[in-house]
């Protein structure tokens, strides 16, 4: 990811083959790793923690490069960046509280259009990237609401019911 960031931020216009291919390779590698873990049922606590964090970091890196070159609407990139940073903070909070927040289907579905949009933006396909990005943002925000709802429910279940 650092190599992608350096290349993406230092090129003349932001749309070049090398950073786009590197972004796709990182994303595909992450997807393949997760798929292999699910197929072989080889889960680890570390993998469960690192995989969502790496997805978020890849989205943040892609959004930073797209922001630098205005490859996608900056207001939408700001929403994505705020969401991803909030999810990193909420993930850490949930770990401290011992909550069991698993990746939900909406969140998994959001990842494809968000990362796809960032890739297509890096290749210069701005219209396709923008449409995918809007779909991805809506799904990502819906997933965030679901995570928050699940966390609140778990916290309430742990709290003793105090009635007067």
Half-sphere exposure of 99 (CA within 13 A, CB side): 23
* pTM score: 0.88
Let me know: does 30 contact 62? Beta carbons within 8 Å. Answer: no
- List pLDDT tens digits, range 16-71: 899 999 999 999 988 888 778 778 888 766 666 677 888 899 999 999 999 999 99
Q: Locate the domains of the chain by residue range.
A: 2-157
- List pLDDT tens digits, range 81-93: 999 999 988 888 8
Instruction: Return the CATH class of domain 2-157.
Output: mainly alpha
**Which H helix or E strand runs over 42?**
none
- List pLDDT tens digits, range 103-150: 789 998 999 999 999 999 999 999 999 999 999 999 999 999 999 998
């Amino acid at each position: 990811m650092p190599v992608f960031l350096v290349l993406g931020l230092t090129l003349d216009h932001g749309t070049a083959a090398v950073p786009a291919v590197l972004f796709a390779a990182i994303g595909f590698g992450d997807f393949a790793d997760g798929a292999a873990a699910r197929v072989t049922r080889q889960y680890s606590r570390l993998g469960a923690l690192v995989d969502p964090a790496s997805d978020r970091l890849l989205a943040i890196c892609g959004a930073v490069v797209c922001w630098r070159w205005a490859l996608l609407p900056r207001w939408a990139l700001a929403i994505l960046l705020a969401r991803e940073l909030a999810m990193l903070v909420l993930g850490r909070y949930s770990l401290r509280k011992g909550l069991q927040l698993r990746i939900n289907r909406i969140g998994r579905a959001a990842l494809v259009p968000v990362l796809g949009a960032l890739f297509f933006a890096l290749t210069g396909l701005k219209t396709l990237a923008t449409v995918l990005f809007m779909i991805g943002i809506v799904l990502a925000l819906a997933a965030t609401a679901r995570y928050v709802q699940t966390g609140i429910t778990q916290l309430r279940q742990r709290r003793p019911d105090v009635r007067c």
